[in-house]
């Protein structure tokens, strides 16, 4: 198995409902995404982009198929561990359209809350947070509140938060939807830089075709099938 493999999916299926309410969303999907790649996930509204993303993130359970994260098989017609939360903590970072920073905590506390909840030493988590804030050129913002930052700065903090657990995979659900063109471009370029420099696989849902030129590959959902466009 490839050591460069971050995500491998084989014959993945997802549907909802039964009888008259049955909806087939993802049918027989098979693909591989490697470390260091920024992959755009595009499809019409309601076609299953977020559903696929949440299956890869071990949040939504497929109906059948196989999912590998790295070299670990995590799903084969059922979750192979009861600790899917542990997989998310150890392997995956999430970024969403809204930054979801806690408004009554300063930036440092927002970044260190989850690691400390997971038992990481305070000094260790703060050192990691400062390293990331420096990486994102907002090192002087650690003591300020989210309301004192711009939308672009808050999204940078949200991306930093996704990296606090040193993930192998980042799943980003329309991370630029609330930003203007210049800030959207800056965020996507930043994600590309992270993919290369941190050797992380990033899957980014987007409706903005202008962002596709910065991605390595484009993954589409067409007629319930997952296909790649060069």
pLDDT per residue as tens digits for the range 155-213: 889 999 999 988 999 999 988 887 788 888 988 998 999 999 989 999 999 988 999 99
Assign domain 36-61+85-229 to its CATH architecture: 3-Layer(aba) Sandwich (3.40)
CA atoms within 13 A on the CB side of 116: 13
Residue 177 burial (C-beta neighbours within 10 Å; 0-12, 13-18, 19+):
middle
d(CA 19, CA 15): 12
What pLDDT score was predicted for residue 105? Answer: 96
Could you say which residues of the chain have pLDDT below 50? Answer: 1
Domain chopping of the chain, boundaries: 36-61+85-229
What pLDDT score was predicted for residue 102? Answer: 94
What pLDDT score was predicted for residue 89? Answer: 85
What pLDDT score was predicted for residue 1? Answer: 47
Q: Where are the alpha helices (DSSP H) in 118-214?
A: 122-135, 151-162, 181-197
- Using DSSP's 3-state secondary structure scheme, residue 162 falls into helix
Give yes or no for a contact between 88 and 67, defined as CB atoms under 8 angstroms apart. no
d(CA 81, CA 69): 13
151 beta partners:
none
Taking each continuous run of H as one helix and of E as one strand, the counts in the chain are: 6, 10
Q: Is 174 left (phi over 0), alpha (psi -120 to 50) or beta?
A: left
Residue 207 φ then ψ, to 5°: -105, -5
What pLDDT score was predicted for residue 26? Answer: 93
**What are the residues whose beta carbons fall under 8 Å from the beta carbon of 53, sequence distance 6 or more?**
41, 171, 173, 203, 205
């Amino acid at each position: 198995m490839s050591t460069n493999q971050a995500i491998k999916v084989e014959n993945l299926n997802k549907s909802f409902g039964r009888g008259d309410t049955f909806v087939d969303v993802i049918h027989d999907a098979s693909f591989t995404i490697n470390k260091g790649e920024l992959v755009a996930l595009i499809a019409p509204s309601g076609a299953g982009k977020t559903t696929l993303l949440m299956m890869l993130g071990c949040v939504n359970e497929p109906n059948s198929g196989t999912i590998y994260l790295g070299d670990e098989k995590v799903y084969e017609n059922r979750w192979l561990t009861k600790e899917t939360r542990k997989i998310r903590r150890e392997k995956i970072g999430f970024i969403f359209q809204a930054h979801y920073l806690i408004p009554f905590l300063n930036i440092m506390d927002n970044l260190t809350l989850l690691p400390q909840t997971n038992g990481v030493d305070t000094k260790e988590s703060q050192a990691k947070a400062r390293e990331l804030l420096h990486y994102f050129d907002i090192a002087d913002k650690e003591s300020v509140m989210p309301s004192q930052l711009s939308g672009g700065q808050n999204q940078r903090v949200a991306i930093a938060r996704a990296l606090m657990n040193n993930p192998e995979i980042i799943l980003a659900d329309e991370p630029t939807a609330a930003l203007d063109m210049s800030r959207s471009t800056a965020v996507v370029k930043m994600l590309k830089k992270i993919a290369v420099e941190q050797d992380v696989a990033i899957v980014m849902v987007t409706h903005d075709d202008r962002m596709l030129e910065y991605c390595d590959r484009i993954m589409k959902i067409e007629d319930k099938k997952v296909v790649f466009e060069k």
